[in-house]
Amino acid sequence: MRRKGMMALALSFALLAGCGSMEKETVGEGENIAREESAQGESSLKASTDDHVLADTAAGVADGVGTIETQEISMQEPLSGEEIQKEEEAPIDWTTAEHNVNGRKLPVYCVETQEKKVALTFDAAWGNEDTPRLLEILENHGLHVTFFMTGGWVENYPEDVKAILAAGHDLGNHSENHKNMSQLSDEEKKEEIMKVHDKVKELTGYDMFLFRPPYGDYDNATIDVLKDCGYYPIQWDVDSLDWQNKGADAILQTVLEHKNLGNGSIILCHNGAEYTAEALDALITALEEEGYTIVPLSELLYKDHYYLNHEGRQIQDQG
């Protein structure tokens, strides 16, 4: 049976104007989602309001937001963590990575690009029933995406972590314990980032460099600590709302008709949502039929010499 930790969440927010649209809107301040432990000790979520509200714009808005049989992924020559990261070994000039927008430090919500490409991302914090199926679908389409994982998920499903990496996907950091980052001290922030980082490094040899804050919740200090740890802070501008468990058709409609969907969009999905695997094949096909190329975040992002605008859009600095 599928875990019942994935429940329909109440939606109460105004959407941030994102990459597919240049209209400017503000986001209402959202309540946080409480995270509790079930009797089995696994993570479950209890919602008071939508935890996937785009946290804010930079214009002064207050701070936002199972055991399975592992299927083997067939590859002729699986890559090691070191081989996959070969292109990331060039030193990054963090002094040219500007996240400050009018005093507010933002994560990357989307990327400015003339190319019609988008990044598909999956948060892995609870559940694992569909991960092998997701990987199979992605392999069938010849696509690479990004998985953001919590420390607990890494501990519970180490073989799946290795399978994701071996298939050529990005491994991203979703914190150790899925806490609200803005409520932590700088030292606690660092611990949440680096504890799962070290687990993945020991398990795979891979150094993660992409971080998505739980609930989309962050503050200026979170961005600073992430930078000190060598991480890019990542949000999203298209929420699939798969966590609402309204069915595969609802996921397709939400993404494909989203006002923000456009060049450089970052699409949020979850590996543990009830209908995501069912919708994925059709979603990929529809996006490709609209002319989009799906890429991992490591390919979409500018590594340095960039700045962000008020939407959290990453723009390459031509100067």
At 224, list the tokens. Answer: 């600073």
What is residue 89's predicted lDDT score, i.e. its pLDDT?
A: 56
Mean pLDDT of the region 150-163: 97
CATH label of the domain that carries residue 300: 3.20.20.370
Query: Which range among 27-31, 97-101, 186-190 has the greatest average pLDDT?
Result: 186-190
In a domain? residue 34: no
Q: Looking at the domain assignment, is residue 11 inside a domain?
A: no
State how many domains the chain has: 1
Is residue 20 situated within a structural domain? no
In a domain, 283, yes or no: yes
What's the rounded Cα separation, in Å, for the pair 316 and 307?
7
Provide CB contacts within 8 A for 108, sequence distance 6+. 232, 233, 234, 235, 266, 301, 308, 312, 314
Please report whether residue 97 resides in a domain: yes
Residue 78 covered by a domain: no
- Rounded to two decimals, the pTM is 0.76
Residue 294 has pLDDT above 90, yes or no: yes
pLDDT at 68 over 80: no
Domain that holds residue 268: 92-316
Percentage of the chain surpassing pLDDT 90?
A: 68
Say how far apart CA 164 and CA 104 lie, in whole Å. Answer: 34
**Which of the residues are catalytic?**
123, 270
- The DSSP letter of residue 204 is H
Letter for the amino acid at 160?
A: D
Residue 32 lies in a domain: no
Q: What percent of the chain has pLDDT over 70?
A: 71
Q: Comparing 61-75, 117-131, 177-191, which segment has the lowest mean pLDDT?
A: 61-75
Q: Is residue 104 part of a domain?
A: yes
For residues 92 and 14, the model is more confident at 92
Confidence class of residue 90 from pLDDT cuts 50, 70 and 90?
Answer: low
Q: What are phi and psi of 295, to 5 degrees?
A: -130, 160
Q: What's residue 93's pLDDT?
A: 83
